[in-house]
Amino acid sequence: MSRDTLSRPEPVTPRRARRETRGPRRRASRTGARNARAAAAFVLPFFALFALCFLAPIGYALHQSLFTTERTGPLGLGGQEREVFAGLANYAQALSDDRFLTGFGRVLAFGAVQIPLMIVLATALALLLESASARAVPFFRSAFFLPYGVPGVIASILWGFLYVPGISPLVKIAGSVGWDLDFLSRGTVLWSLANIVTWQFTGYNMLVLIAQLKAVPGELYEAARIDGANAWQVARHLKIPLIRPALVLTGVFSIIGTLQLFAEPMVLRPLASSIDSGFTPNLHAYSEAFVGNNPHAAAAEAVLLALVACVLSFGFLRLVGGRTKERG
């Protein structure tokens, strides 16, 4: 709008000019106010919900994590209960808990293996489905995506049946050729969980990547082909660099998802003695809250978990962001 007015300069008398400059400006400020009001009306519900469902619980968790319960009364039973300020004692306790820290180490190892594997797999599937011209593409796309539609708990139960000895056909088949498979031992159970997560989320990440591939203008491919690039070269030098933002995005989501690992170990826990109550940090916080009945310690652990997730996600973005700049 402003560019339009500028392009049509009109000779003006000073008086008129004064009026003109005053007029539009007043009009502009009035529309501005109206716009601001409208914008506020649109944005307010978001901020209200954001504050209610996001900021308030975080604030509450932070608050909870700084307190502890004190009991009086005979043997502490049926007496008075009081919340007293504990400072950072809950954090100190969480950080000195071996099981909680081991859980972090475990999910980090999990992520270091599972995330690259899943993203490479998702990228490969996305590239293959995008370059194929066969009719079955929509079918395969849905088929790969389907596991994402299965809730994590159900997926874990399903895979549980394939893991439990005595029931699992896989263990049976392997056993019949003399291979003693144990999916649920201390050493293997983490990777059995990784398999469930990979099965569930590869298709989802593939779809994100496909969406970005679709956004690439066709002329680029055409130009590449005219330049004599083969399919592999197009993928390597054109497609993968172009879907970089989507790869970064799926990477960040996966990092956060990994730290939140909960449903899968929770469901497999009764089946596998090798999964302890603090197998992942999230499971540890759950046990603290609902078995130990100690919401304050659990809140501190949840806050720590969120902090680590933030550090890792931003760290990852810094890392990949930095590389972009070098190249640019």
Partner 1 sequence: MTSNAMHRRTVLGGAAALAAGFTLAGCGDGDDGQAPEERKKGQKISLTFWSWVPGIDKPVDLWNRTHPDVQVKVEKVSAVNGQQYAKMHAAIKAGNPPDLGQIEFPVVPSFLLDNGLLDLAPLGAGRHKGKFSGWQWQQSVFGKSVYAIPQASGPMGLFLRQDLFDKWDVPVPRTWDEYETAAEAVRKKGAWIETFAPTNGNRFSGLAWQAGAKWYATHGDTWIVHLDDEPTRRVADYWESLVRRKLVKTIPDRQNAWYKDLQTGAIPAWVGASWGDALLVGNAPGTKGKWRAAPLPQWKAGEQAFANWGGSTTAVFAKARYPKDALDFAVWLNTDPESIALLIDGGYGFPSAKKGYTTTDLDVDKDFFGGQAYSKIFADAGAHVDTSWRWGPGVDTLYQRLGDAFTDALADGSSFRSVLTKVQGQTLADLKGKGLKVESGG
Return residues touching partner 1 (CB under 8 A): 54, 57-58, 60-61, 64, 68-71, 74-78, 81, 93, 99, 161, 164-167, 186, 245, 248-249, 252-253, 256, 259-260, 269-274, 276-278, 282, 285, 287, 289-295, 297-299, 302-303, 305-306, 309-310, 313-314, 317, 321
What is the DSSP annotation of 106-148? HHHHHHHHHHHHHHHHHHHHHHHHHH--STTHHHHHHHHHHHH
C-alpha span between 164 and 303 (Å, rounded)? 35
Cβ atoms of 268 and 193 closer than 8 Å: yes
Q: Would you say 39 or 310 has its CB closer to partner 1?
A: 310
C-alpha span between 96 and 88 (Å, rounded)? 12
Closest approach of Cβ 159 to partner 1, in Å?
13
Token pair 């978990």 is found at 305
C-alpha span between 33 and 27 (Å, rounded)? 10
Closest approach of Cβ 282 to partner 1, in Å?
6
Q: Pull the structure tokens for residue 58.
A: 């975080």
Q: Pull the structure tokens for residue 29.
A: 């400020």
Q: Return the closest-CA partner of residue 21 out of 13, 281, 118.
A: 13
Q: Would you say 61 or 229 has its CB closer to partner 1?
A: 61
Q: Would you say 130 or 288 has its CB closer to partner 1?
A: 288
Q: Would you say 94 or 144 has its CB closer to partner 1?
A: 94
The DSSP H or E segment spanning 56 is helix 56-65
Q: Would you say 129 or 300 has its CB closer to partner 1?
A: 300
Closest approach of Cβ 323 to partner 1, in Å?
13
Cβ atoms of 44 and 279 closer than 8 Å: no
Q: Is 75 helix (H, G, I), strand (E, B) or coil?
A: helix
Cβ atoms of 181 and 175 closer than 8 Å: yes
Closest approach of Cβ 313 to partner 1, in Å?
5
Q: Would you say 7 or 96 has its CB closer to partner 1?
A: 96
Closest approach of Cβ 131 to partner 1, in Å?
23
Closest approach of Cβ 33 to partner 1, in Å?
27
C-alpha span between 135 and 52 (Å, rounded)? 48
Amino acid letter for position 197: V
Token pair 């159900």 is found at 154
Q: Would you say 121 or 157 has its CB closer to partner 1?
A: 157
C-alpha span between 210 and 149 (Å, rounded)? 18
Closest approach of Cβ 91 to partner 1, in Å?
14
Cα 107–Cα 109–Cα 114 angle in degrees, nearest 5: 90
Closest approach of Cβ 166 to partner 1, in Å?
4
Q: Would you say 32 or 321 has its CB closer to partner 1?
A: 321
C-alpha span between 287 and 292 (Å, rounded)? 6
Closest approach of Cβ 41 to partner 1, in Å?
22
Q: Would you say 144 or 300 has its CB closer to partner 1?
A: 300
